[in-house]
């Protein structure tokens, strides 16, 4: 199953509700004033955007409007260990994709050691 299909299943099964409201205060942070907004020495712009609110309703319109899920799907990653300069090491990992039966994509992570 592709990641996109899995994510679609998660969304349809309602697991986004678990992500959205895992903690009342975390979900409440999506009702905060926009980050970086000048305070001008005043309080929040309105009662709907105050710090420290708790959200217990999965359908809270303000919190839902500010909630996002970001998925980062790398196809290549490098690791470098320079903790001991005399034994510095570096690796490159990449996801090698192959077409399986029926055109389904399968893959695995490969590793190669490089000079640092």
Q: What is the pLDDT of residues 16-38, one digit of tens each?
A: 554 555 567 777 787 888 778 88
What pLDDT, on the 0 to 100 scale, is given for residue 112?
Answer: 97
What pLDDT, on the 0 to 100 scale, is given for residue 47?
Answer: 82
pTM, 2 dp: 0.47
CA dihedral 24, 30, 34, 40 (to 10 degrees): -20
Neighbours of 9 (CB within 10 A): 11
82 shares a domain with 30: no
Q: Quick check: 17 and 58 in contact, CB under 8 A?
A: yes
35 shares a domain with 13: yes
80 shares a domain with 49: no
Cα distance from N-terminal residue to C-terminal residue, the chain: 36
Q: What is the DSSP letter of 115?
A: -
61 shares a domain with 32: yes
In a domain, 71, yes or no: no
Range of the domain at 106: 76-114
**Residue ranges of the chain with per-residue pLDDT less than 70:** 1-23
What pLDDT, on the 0 to 100 scale, is given for residue 11?
Answer: 52
Q: Which residues make Cβ contacts (< 8 Å) with residue 110, sequence separation at least 6?
A: 93, 94, 95, 96
């Amino acid at each position: 199953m592709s990641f996109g299909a899995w994510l679609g299943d998660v969304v349809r099964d309602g697991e986004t509700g678990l992500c959205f409201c895992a903690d009342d205060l975390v979900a409440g942070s999506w009702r905060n004033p926009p980050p970086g907004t000048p305070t001008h020495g005043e309080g929040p712009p309105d009662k709907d955007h105050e710090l420290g609110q708790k959200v217990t309703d999965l359908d809270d319109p303000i919190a839902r409007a500010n909630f996002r899920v970001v998925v980062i799907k790398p196809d290549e990653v490098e690791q470098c260990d320079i903790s001991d300069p005399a034994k510095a090491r570096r690796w490159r990992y990449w996801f090698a994709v192959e077409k399986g039966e029926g055109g389904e994509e399968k893959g695995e992570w490969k590793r190669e050691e490089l000079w640092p």
